[in-house]
Structure 1
């Protein structure tokens, strides 16, 4: 199993090193890093491959990494190893100035690494811990100078609800130490300040406490509320939002757990309209949304059955639900890669395998703060479904 080869890459003992050639054998995409240039302003050490090895060297020398064992140690190592995996695909070179950039490489990297580790059979909890670090691995550099105008307190608190900040800071610090740049010390100072802030605010190594799930949700979505004071929740519909790749078991979940409830479904809307996959999606979406709005106005409970695969697509649904004061439970469903493609090949669907493959490039697992409650139901290779811890 590929997962066993991946586990073997991580140094298990204090003082042990890593084998870069073995890493490239298990993850062939790493070889492209050796020929991917970087901006000399931020990476005077050279190409992305050189940088990645320097980051791993810095990680192995970190006290936090040395104190870890088992899955947590693997999480840190894989996050550092794969944090810049998508720089080759995102590299841009200005034709006038020659300036090199890799915009969006963190978020795209998290998506690609998710699909890569899923195919390799890496356990859900470990995989998501790695991907969540990769998606935000640069945030501690710039938390005090947010382009979105977010406060460092807000950034630290929301991040603490989806990952361990001590692990994120460990990887971020290794990332900064594994490069040559003029502002290296200034950025290391920013990381240290971010750590101090998280410690003082009660979100270092643990999720920041909130007075209620509704208070946490509204705060995470940008509302001006105090986390320690319960926010009054206006009554609305009880809505279960399903999320997951096609053929991951959403229809089966509805049949088992939602008998008697109304169901909003894009697939049902397409069937009612006689549409195939990818054919006039807007018309089907409009029909489904109209049904949801009618149920929300009546404050009736229902299930929203759709892939909701990317954060952008989920937000369209969640924004609507929260505008109507709905109490939302997100249920994420997942099956192993072989199971998924086998199911899709044998079910009555117009979704082709190649279209399902393309959907993996938009696959973002929901974070714990996206709803009042988020449940992760992950099926094993043996067919057992169990709630995953997140």
Structure 2
């Protein structure tokens, strides 16, 4: 095993055996003992302020201050890992080592991070494996029984979405979610021998330097025979990012200035639709250089309908946003259609008829080039993707409006709604939520529970066209 080794990182030596003092206590606790972490005296917001001032984070602090919001932190100590890939022990031990490695990187690395970036990186280290308790399973692979946790990174992002909402600045909040979701990319891209389009795609979604540091900490915070090989992959990720020009913050003007200049005479929704579809085609490997997008864009330069797809559980602020932004748009509400069919908004018995009528009305709006809002929870990718595919068949521009409410607020607001749902139904909505990927629409608007804008992806490509976030 690779105990007691050290690794050269950007001119600094970083030890990989930074096992925290409390590791052995965690490892030997009985499974149902959940009180080993005593509540600290410092409120959670005070800890956030402390971290923003560049105070180091420890795993014990993280559990003490975040376990009320994120109770799965308490289950990390009971979640086993594969002994070949994680000989250090359970997920709590690994997470503690990753946090220590992150602190060392922040202290010693030549990569400079702002206070908010350092905060995001620390929290991403704490939460990077948060969903392993609900995804870990044992199955046979390569002739042996392995402990696996498939899709735990993106499952973790969805779990955190409503639990970290309002706690952080919007950019920091979204950065933590993206770092958690993509922390395997610096290993996967080199292993799969990916080329420039794949690095463009990851750079568009998350800061590659912070992602590199998180992945490096993830490799340093473990005990395994091939640790140095994994570290070499992360180093190679950095080299490829530098080689393709994606080590610096993503700048669409660098690759897409030619196409953007060609589109200036068109309405913003046409510009945005063509740009994003050109980006997706490039990232799928349909052409080798962004400049080729100019020739491919001519058949897309036509008038298009505007589609707004709402995403969020009941009581999350969707209706508030619609009320402020519905002018000139047809609203297709599944709740209202259920009420017309059954007399009750919550009656799911005739969902097939409701969906049929809703989709036919949706398609008619697309044919008529009429702006339309699809008002439903749309919590899962497959539900959203059906609508997106239909809209793209008609050449429409699609905006996904994603509500980011606080978990506690959802239950409070549900009790006060005109049409409340059962608490169990709301819990099912929350647990089934899949955080949207940035490729699910031409534009994404993130809103808080008051319907106010937290972030708008349009600002990244058309900074003078988008409405500024309200926070």
TM tier, smaller: 0.7 to 0.9
Match of 1:154 among 197, 204, 218: 197
Q: Does 1:215 align with 2:278?
A: no
RMSD between superposed Cα atoms in Å: 2.9
**Separation of aligned partners in 2, 1:283 and 1:9:** 54
Q: Please report how far the alpha carbon of residue 325 of structure 1 lies from its aligned counterpart in structure 2 after TM superposition.
A: 0.8
Aligned to 2:290: 227
Aligned to 2:460: none
Aligned to 2:8: none
Q: Which moved more, 1:288-297 or 1:230-239?
A: 230-239
Q: Which moved more, 1:347-356 or 1:52-61?
A: 347-356
Is the contact made by 2:76 and 2:132 (CA closer than 8 Å) also made in structure 1?
yes
Aligned to 1:277: 346
**Separation of aligned partners in 1, 2:439 and 2:151:** 22
Is the contact made by 2:57 and 2:103 (CA closer than 8 Å) also made in structure 1?
no
**3-state SS of the aligned residue for 1:99?**
strand
Matches within 5 A, 1:127-146: 127-146=173-192
Is the alpha carbon distance of 1:251 and 1:22 closer, same or farther for their aligned partners in structure 2, counting shifts above 3 Å?
closer
Aligned to 1:190: 233
Q: Which moved more, 1:243-252 or 1:321-330?
A: 243-252
Aligned to 1:375: 445
**Separation of aligned partners in 1, 2:85 and 2:312:** 38
Aligned to 2:155: 108
Q: Which moved more, 1:323-332 or 1:60-69?
A: 60-69
Is the contact made by 1:329 and 1:372 (CA closer than 8 Å) also made in structure 2?
yes
**Separation of aligned partners in 2, 1:143 and 1:316:** 29
Is the alpha carbon distance of 1:295 and 1:102 closer, same or farther for their aligned partners in structure 2, counting shifts above 3 Å?
same
Larger Rg: 2
What stretches of structure 2 of length at least 5 have no aligned partner? 1-41, 261-271, 458-471
Q: TM-score, normalised by structure 1?
A: 0.86
Is the contact made by 2:445 and 2:453 (CA closer than 8 Å) also made in structure 1?
no
Could you report, residue by residue, the CA deviation over 1:270-300 in whole angstroms, capped at 9, with x for unpaired residues?
1221254361333322221111112222333
**Separation of aligned partners in 2, 1:10 and 1:313:** 38
**Separation of aligned partners in 2, 1:161 and 1:196:** 17
Q: Does 1:178 align with 2:242?
A: no
Matches within 5 A, 1:240-279: 240-274=308-342, 275-277=344-346, 279=348
Q: Which moved more, 1:81-90 or 1:276-285?
A: 276-285
Is the alpha carbon distance of 1:384 and 1:116 closer, same or farther for their aligned partners in structure 2, counting shifts above 3 Å?
closer
**Separation of aligned partners in 2, 1:65 and 1:269:** 58
Q: Does 1:325 align with 2:371?
A: no
**Separation of aligned partners in 1, 2:456 and 2:365:** 32
**3-state SS of the aligned residue for 1:93?**
strand
Matches within 5 A, 1:56-75: 56-62=99-105, 63-64=108-109, 67-75=112-120
**3-state SS of the aligned residue for 1:21?**
helix
Is the contact made by 1:234 and 1:325 (CA closer than 8 Å) also made in structure 2?
no
Q: Please report how far the alpha carbon of residue 322 of structure 1 lies from its aligned counterpart in structure 2 after TM superposition.
A: 0.9
Could you report, residue by residue, the CA deviation over 1:131-190 in whole angstroms, capped at 9, with x for unpaired residues?
1111111121111344xxx94433322222222111111101110111122222222222
Match of 1:385 among 452, 456, 465: 452
Is the contact made by 1:202 and 1:208 (CA closer than 8 Å) also made in structure 2?
no
Is the contact made by 1:244 and 1:309 (CA closer than 8 Å) also made in structure 2?
yes
Aligned to 2:128: 83
Q: Does 1:27 align with 2:79?
A: no
Q: TM-score, normalised by structure 2?
A: 0.73
What stretches of structure 1 of length at least 5 have no aligned partner? none
